[in-house]
Chain A
């Protein structure tokens, strides 16, 4: 007995080493087996928590890239939606037109310069004719309408913001399909004005305004804002203030919409005008 204790004490460190080493080796062997669940893994609260924390920090540094990805994803999904609705509409036609299979194409662009304090405000985006941007294309983001492209360079374009006295956008009430025109009086960058609403239209404060379907530029149903305030005088609406959904002072990524039917529609309109 004394001998055993003597041996244990003499080789104490070697025995500790041997014990721990065998535990480590058992874990190692276990980890090489697919079928056994591994005791040593990083899916626990401590390691998972630390990894999550660092991922949050790492995420912060790639936010810019992530944002870009999301915007691209959004454009792709919107393309799909546009194509699906185009497919649904083909019931009205006898022939499926493969060129205008989808009616609208979305292109992601980044706002590199943003004006909102002047009377005639313009935005600058980082896409141009090289990326398929042309004049008079609708510019929106997920929140709503932003403007219409104006001057197009090879890699940049300017956008006539809805905060511009020259901006006229075809708009309608979401609930009653009465049409009007969206203007801006140059006062506040959160508020635009709706005019030409027929007097029989009924609406209240808080009603949503969307783009109308008669525009060649905007797809129908893009949100604009809600009715903030209106005056009803002399049997007609004098002034309807629209509180915009978009914060025009903080724009980052936008979608530029190409209407693939635009040329055809313009030609048709021209021809019927000529016939008159």
Chain B
């Protein structure tokens, strides 16, 4: 149990530094900044009491905002997907009962894992770009950006889950 706390605290800080120092200077196609830090949401253990999860997700986003001078954009978008996570998982399990304490992305089938990551990433990117643009002006262009960025970030997140997380049954 202590091990689990330590891993998540470590992941919290490593992801901040990774996002701020590496991925924020990554400017593919001039707008693409893959949001690696939302990996935190996917890997945080599921518990009945979600207070710690919501608060830590919020602060993770806020710290990223501090670094990138972006107000509360990252905090708002990561908090939303942190809140919606359990509903997405329930949806993917077709509301069947499951042991959520043992839940882990690697325990899902590949297709389900991609949709789990993809849906939440899309919501995150949608809110993120909407708040950073702060208007619906040129909405079509914005949607293209959101789509490309979602695809890119999803691939990155799925790859990191596959690479760095052990397979569980």
Contact with B along A5-41 (1 / 0, CB 8 A): 0000000111011001101111111111000001011
Q: A12-B51, A13-B50 are in contact. Are A24 and B83 (CB under 8 A)?
A: no
User: Is A42 within 8 A of B58, CB to CB?
Assistant: no
Contact with B along A38-59 (1 / 0, CB 8 A): 1011101011001100100000
Residues of B within 8 A of A (CB-CB), count? 26
Tell me the residues in window 50-98 of chain A with beta carbons closer than 8 Å to chain B beta carbons: 50-51, 54
| Chain A binding surface, main DSSP class | helix
Check if B54 is an interface residue, CB within 8 A of chain A: yes
User: Is A40 within 8 A of B134, CB to CB?
Assistant: no
User: Is A20 within 8 A of B51, CB to CB?
Assistant: no
User: Is B72 within 8 A of A17, CB to CB?
Assistant: no
User: Is B71 within 8 A of A30, CB to CB?
Assistant: yes
Query: A32–B133 Cα gap in the complex (Å)?
Result: 10
Residues of the A chain whose Cβ atoms lie less than 8 Å from the Cβ of B67: 42, 47, 50-51
| Chain B binding surface, main DSSP class | helix
Residues of the B chain whose Cβ atoms lie less than 8 Å from the Cβ of A27: 62, 65, 71-72, 75
Residues of the B chain whose Cβ atoms lie less than 8 Å from the Cβ of A50: 17, 20-21, 67
User: Is B21 within 8 A of A13, CB to CB?
Assistant: no
Check if B68 is an interface residue, CB within 8 A of chain A: yes
Pick from B51, B55, B68, B72: contact of A25, CB under 8 Å? B72
Residues of the A chain whose Cβ atoms lie less than 8 Å from the Cβ of B73: 24, 28, 31
Residues of the A chain whose Cβ atoms lie less than 8 Å from the Cβ of B80: 17, 21
Contact with B along A123-163 (1 / 0, CB 8 A): 00000000000000000000000000000000000000000
User: Is B71 within 8 A of A40, CB to CB?
Assistant: yes
Q: A24-B76, A32-B134, A40-B62 are in contact. Are A16 and B55 (CB under 8 A)?
A: yes
User: Is B131 within 8 A of A20, CB to CB?
Assistant: no
Query: A25–B127 Cα gap in the complex (Å)?
Result: 11
Contact with A along B53-77 (1 / 0, CB 8 A): 0110010011001111111110110
Residues in A lying within 8 Å of B, measured CB to CB: 12-14, 16-17, 20-21, 23-32, 38, 40-42, 44, 46-47, 50-51, 54
Q: For the A-B complex with A14-B83, A21-B76, A50-B20 known, give 9 more contacts whose Cβ atoms are closer than 8 Å.
A: A13-B51, A17-B54, A20-B79, A24-B73, A26-B72, A28-B71, A28-B72, A40-B71, A46-B66
Pick 20 A–B contacts, CB within 8 A, sort by A.
Answer: A16-B50, A20-B75, A20-B79, A21-B80, A23-B72, A23-B75, A24-B61, A24-B72, A25-B76, A27-B65, A27-B71, A28-B76, A31-B69, A32-B71, A32-B134, A40-B69, A40-B70, A41-B69, A42-B69, A46-B66
